[in-house]
C-alpha cells in the first residue's frame, strides 16, 4: 500500500474523478489500481471562486515497488505507515495494587481504557457525576442560573470537552499515530465515521454524551471500575513516594500508580498537591473574550460564492496577530454554528467558552478572542499565581454581568470606541442565561485591551466584517489552558513524587480533547511499564 498526498480536485468533482486522478498522478492505468481509500480530506479555500478538495489517499497498485521507486524523490508519494496500536507492556497482575486514574475527561478516559486493555483493572475516580446527571446540572446553570460546583461544564464524566464543539485535531507530534487510536475508539463508541477522514473533524455535544457512556461500558467490560462523585481531597506520601489518595467520602484508597488527569479547573486539587510539595510551576496561558458573528458573515467571508455548499459546512477560521506591544492576539476554540456557553465551576464567577452540535447549524459563529500572557504578567512568582489571576478576572466578570451568571457583553463598535454598550443590536448573543451590555475594558489588564483593539481591524481585513460594529464580545475567556504545569520526568512521573503521573490539560501536557486523550495513552503506557518494572520509552 502507498500513500499519496496533495491530490487536488474541484469542489464539485464526481466520485469517479478521484480514482482517475490517482491513476493519472501515479502514471498507472486504471486497471493497475487495485483499491484505494481516503486517509484524510480537506479543502483549500484560498481561491474562493475555485475551492478545491485536497485528498490524502492510500492506494493498492500493481507493481507497487516500481511505482514507489519512480517517486522516490516525491514527498507526496510514500509507503503507507502502519497505524495499528499495540500495547507496550504485559504486566503480571498478581499481588499488585490496581492503578488509579483521577479524572474521567478525555485524558483519564484513554488512560483508563489503555490500562483496562492491558488487564490492569484501573479504578477511575471523578468528582463529578455520571454524564446524564451532569447534563441536567449543566443545563440548570444555562437555563436557570443555578450552578452546582461539583457537577458542571468542567467536572464530571467526559470532562471539560463534553459540552463542546468536539473539535478533534491538534498540532501535536504523533509519530506513533496515537490520535488514530483515539479516533478509532470514538467511532467504535458512536462518533460519526467521517472523523477518521476529515482533516478537521468534530463531533458536537449530543454525540459526545452517548460516546462517553459507550466508552465507560467498554472499560467496565475490560475490568475497569468507575467511581463518580468521588473527589480526591488529599494524597498520602512516604518519603517522596505516593502511597494512596484520600477521598471526600472519607475513604483512603491505597495506590502506588496514580494518574492525575484532573483538568485545568480543579484549582482546589492543584492547591492541595502544591501544599503537599508536589512540584508545580506557573506556565503561560491566554485570556480574553468570546466574539460572536452571524455564521452567514463568516461563510461569505471564507467561501465567497461557494458559501452554503453542503460539502463545506459552516466555515471555521483561525487568526493571529502579533501586536506592537509585543502581545499575540489569536482566535481560540472556534465554534462554527454554535453557542457561547457559561463554563464556570466556581460560584460567583463567570467564564465563557463555546460549543456546537454535529450539524453546526446555530445562527452564530463564536470563538475565543484571546491574548497570550505568561508568568511575568502574574501578580507574584508563586507557582499558582495564574489561578489567582483567573479568579480575579472571573469574579470581575460576574459582578459586571450583574451577579446572576449573566455574562457582561459589548458591541465591537463600542469596544473599539471605548464607550460602554447600553444595548445589543443585530447580532443576538447566544450565551445563556443571558448577556448584559456594559464596558468590557475594565475586566482585563490594559495591555490585553490595547492588543485586542489593535487586532480587531487587522482581523477585519482578513475576514470581512470580523470587526463589524454589531459583532458582540462576551467575557471572560480565562480557561483557555492550564496556568500551571505539574512537571514530569522522562518516565512520566512527577519530578519529585514517585507513583504520581501528571497527565492531560491540567498538568500542562495537552490543550484540547485529542491531545489530552493521546497524553492519556502515553501516561497509561508509562504506568504499565513502571508496573512491569521497565523504563518508559
Ligand atoms: P478534563 O476534561 O478537564 O477532565 C478532568 C476531569 O477530572 C473532570 O471530569 C473532573 O471532574 C475530574 N477531577 C478534577 N479534579 C478531581 C478530583 N480532585 N477528584 C476526582 N476527579 C477530579 N477541546 C477540543 O479539543 N475541542 C473542542 O471543541 C473543545 N471545546 C471545548 C468547549 C468547552 C465548553 C470546554 C470547557 C472545553 C473545550 N475544549 C475543547 C477543551 C477540552 O475540553 C479540554 O482540553 C479537555 O477536556 C482536557 O482533557 P483532560 O482529560 O485533561 O481534563
Ligand 1 centroid distance, CA of 250 (Å): 25
Q: Residue 506: CB within 6 Å of ligand 1?
A: yes
Q: What is the pLDDT of residues 178-214, one digit of tens each?
A: 999 999 999 999 999 999 999 999 988 888 899 999 9
Return the closest-CA partner of residue 162 out of 208, 107, 109. 208
Q: What is the pLDDT of residues 84-123, one digit of tens each?
A: 999 887 777 667 899 999 999 999 999 999 999 999 999 9
Ligand 1 pocket: which of 139, 152, 161 to mutate (most atoms <8 Å of CB)?
161
Q: What is the pLDDT of residues 339-360, one digit of tens each?
A: 999 999 999 999 999 998 888 9
Question: Is 500's pLDDT higher than 60?
Answer: yes
Nearest CA to ligand 1 atom 44: 512
Q: What span, in angstroms and rounded, lies between the C-alpha atoms of 320 and 286?
A: 13
Q: What span, in angstroms and rounded, lies between the C-alpha atoms of 261 and 106?
A: 9
Question: Is 384's pLDDT higher than 80?
Answer: yes
Q: Residue 481: CB within 6 Å of ligand 1?
A: no
Query: Closest ligand 1 atom, CA of 163?
Result: 34
pLDDT at 104: 98
Average pLDDT, rounded, for the chain? 96
Residue 94 burial by CB count (10 A; 0-12/13-18/19+): exposed, middle or buried?
exposed
Question: Is 537's pLDDT higher than 70?
Answer: no
Ligand 1 centroid distance, CA of 480 (Å): 11
Q: Residue 336: CB within 6 Å of ligand 1?
A: no
Helix pair angle (106-117, 513-531), 10° resolution: 40
Q: Residue 232: CB within 6 Å of ligand 1?
A: yes
Residue 227 is placed in which grid cell? 467511581
Cα dist. 73→69, 70, 77, 78, 230 in Å?
9, 8, 9, 10, 56
What is the number of other CB atoms lying within 10 angstroms of the CB of residue 347?
10
Q: Residue 247: CB within 6 Å of ligand 1?
A: no
pLDDT at 88: 85
Q: What span, in angstroms and rounded, lies between the C-alpha atoms of 99 and 260?
A: 11
Q: What span, in angstroms and rounded, lies between the C-alpha atoms of 215 and 374?
A: 36
Nearest CA to ligand 1 atom 18: 232
Q: Residue 102: CB within 6 Å of ligand 1?
A: yes
Query: Closest ligand 1 atom, CA of 520?
Result: 51
pLDDT at 533: 86
Ligand 1 centroid distance, CA of 276 (Å): 24
Q: What is the pLDDT of residues 277-311, one digit of tens each?
A: 999 999 999 999 999 999 999 999 999 999 999 99
Ligand 1 pocket: which of 171, 233, 263, 286 to mutate (most atoms <8 Å of CB)?
263
| 403-423 mean pLDDT | 98
Contact 177, 187 (CB under 8 A): no
Q: Which residues pair with 372 in a beta bridge?
A: 286
What is the number of other CB atoms lying within 10 angstroms of the CB of residue 456?
21
pLDDT at 87: 85
Coil, helix or strand at residue 357? coil
Q: Which domains does the chain show, CATH number per domain?
A: 2-79 (3.30.70.2700), 100-280+486-531 (3.50.50.60), 284-477 (no CATH)
Q: Residue 343: CB within 6 Å of ligand 1?
A: yes
Cα dist. 77→19, 174, 210, 397 in Å?
15, 19, 39, 52
Q: How far apart are the first and last CA of the chain?
A: 29
Q: What span, in angstroms and rounded, lies between the C-alpha atoms of 203 and 460?
A: 29
Ligand 1 centroid distance, CA of 403 (Å): 25
Tell me what ipTM this predicted complex has. Answer: 0.99
| 261-275 mean pLDDT | 98
Q: Residue 111: CB within 6 Å of ligand 1?
A: no
Contact 405, 350 (CB under 8 A): yes
Question: Is 258's pLDDT higher than 60?
Answer: yes
Nearest CA to ligand 1 atom 30: 164
> How many percent of the chain have pLDDT more than 70?
99
Ligand 1 centroid distance, CA of 87 (Å): 25
Residue 534: pLDDT band with limits 50, 70, 90: confident
Q: Which residues pair with 260 in a beta bridge?
A: 102, 502
Query: Closest ligand 1 atom, CA of 519?
Result: 52
Q: What span, in angstroms and rounded, lies between the C-alpha atoms of 68 and 2?
A: 8
Q: What span, in angstroms and rounded, lies between the C-alpha atoms of 363 and 345?
A: 27
Residue 535: pLDDT band with limits 50, 70, 90: low
Which DSSP helix (H) or strand (E) runs through 167?
none
Ligand 1 centroid distance, CA of 160 (Å): 3
Q: Residue 262: CB within 6 Å of ligand 1?
A: yes
Return the closest-CA partner of residue 484 out of 283, 313, 289, 307. 283
Q: Which of the residue ranges 101-115, 168-182, 435-449, 513-527 would you say has the lowest mean pLDDT?
A: 168-182
Residue 31: pLDDT band with limits 50, 70, 90: very high
**CA 360-361-362 angle, 5° bins:** 105
Amino acid at each position: 500500500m502507498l500513500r499519496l498526498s496533495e491530490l487536488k480536485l474541484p469542489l464539485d468533482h464526481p466520485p469517479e474523478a478521484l480514482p482517475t486522478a490517482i491513476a493519472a498522478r501515479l502514471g498507472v492505468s486504471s486497471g493497475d489500481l487495485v483499491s484505494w481509500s481516503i486517509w484524510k480530506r480537506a479543502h483549500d479555500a484560498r481561491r474562493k471562486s475555485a475551492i478545491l478538495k485536497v485528498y490524502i489517499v492510500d492506494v493498492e497498485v500493481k507493481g507497487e515497488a516500481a511505482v514507489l521507486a519512480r517517486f522516490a524523490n516525491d514527498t507526496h508519494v510514500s509507503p503507507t505507515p502502519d497505524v495499528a496500536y499495540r500495547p507496550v507492556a504485559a504486566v503480571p497482575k498478581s499481588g499488585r495494587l490496581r492503578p488509579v486514574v483521577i479524572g474521567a475527561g478525555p485524558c483519564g478516559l484513554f488512560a483508563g481504557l489503555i490500562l483496562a486493555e492491558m488487564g490492569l483493572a484501573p479504578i477511575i475516580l471523578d468528582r463529578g457525576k455520571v454524564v446524564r446527571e451532569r447534563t441536567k446540572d449543566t443545563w440548570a446553570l444555562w437555563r436557570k442560573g443555578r450552578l452546582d460546583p461539583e457537577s458542571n461544564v468542567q467536572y464530571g464524566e467526559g470532562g471539560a470537552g463534553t459540552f463542546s464543539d468536539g473539535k478533534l485535531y491538534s498540532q501535536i507530534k504523533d509519530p506513533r499515530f496515537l490520535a488514530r487510536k483515539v479516533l478509532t475508539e470514538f467511532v467504535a463508541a458512536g462518533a460519526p465515521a467521517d472523523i477518521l477522514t476529515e482533516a478537521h473533524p468534530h463531533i458536537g455535544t449530543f454525540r459526545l454524551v452517548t460516546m462517553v457512556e459507550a466508552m465507560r461500558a467498554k472499560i467496565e467490560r475490560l475490568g475497569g471500575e468507575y467511581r463518580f462523585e468521588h473527589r480526591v481531597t488529599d494524597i498520602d506520601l512516604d518519603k517522596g513516594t505516593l502511597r494512596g489518595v484520600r477521598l471526600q467520602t472519607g475513604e483512603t484508597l491505597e495506590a502506588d500508580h496514580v494518574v492525575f488527569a484532573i483538568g485545568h479547573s480543579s484549582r482546589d486539587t492543584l492547591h492541595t498537591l502544591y501544599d503537599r510539595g508536589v512540584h508545580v510551576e506557573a506556565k503561560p496561558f491566554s485570556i480574553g473574550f468570546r466574539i460572536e458573528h452571524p455564521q452567514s458573515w463568516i461563510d461569505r467571508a471564507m467561501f465567497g460564492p461557494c458559501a452554503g455548499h453542503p460539502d463545506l459546512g459552516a466555515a471555521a477560521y483561525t487568526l493571529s496577530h502579533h501586536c506592537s506591544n509585543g502581545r499575540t492576539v489569536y482566535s481560540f476554540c472556534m465554534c462554527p454554528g454554535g453557542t457561547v456557553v457559561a463554563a464556570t465551576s466556581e460560584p460567583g464567577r463567570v467564564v465563557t467558552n463555546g460549543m456546537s452540535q454535529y450539524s453546526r447549524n446555530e445562527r452564530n459563529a463564536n470563538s475565543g478572542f484571546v491574548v497570550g500572557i505568561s508568568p511575568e504578567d502574574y501578580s507574584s512568582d508563586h507557582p499558582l499565581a495564574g489561578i489567582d489571576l483567573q479568579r480575579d478576572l472571573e469574579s470581575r466578570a460576574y459582578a459586571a454581568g450583574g451577579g446572576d451568571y449573566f455574562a457582561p457583553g459589548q458591541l465591537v463598535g463600542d469596544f473599539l470606541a471605548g464607550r460602554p454598550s447600553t444595548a445589543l443590536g443585530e447580532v443576538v448573543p447566544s450565551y445563556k442565561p443571558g448577556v448584559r451590555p456594559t464596558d468590557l475594558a475594565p475586566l482585563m489588564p490594559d495591555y490585553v485591551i490595547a492588543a485586542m483593539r489593535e487586532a480587531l481591524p487587522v482581523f477585519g481585513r482578513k475576514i470581512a466584517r470580523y470587526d463589524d460594529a454589531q459583532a458582540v464580545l462576551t467575557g471572560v475567556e480565562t480557561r483557555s489552558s492550564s496556568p500551571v504545569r505539574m512537571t514530569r520526568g522522562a518516565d512520566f512521573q512527577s519530578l519529585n513524587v514517585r507513583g504520581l503521573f501528571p497527565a492531560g490539560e491540567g498538568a500542562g501536557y495537552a490543550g484540547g480533547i485529542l491531545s489530552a486523550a493521546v497524553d492519556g495513552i502515553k501516561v497509561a503506557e508509562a504506568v504499565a511499564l513502571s508496573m512491569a518494572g521497565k523504563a518508559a520509552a
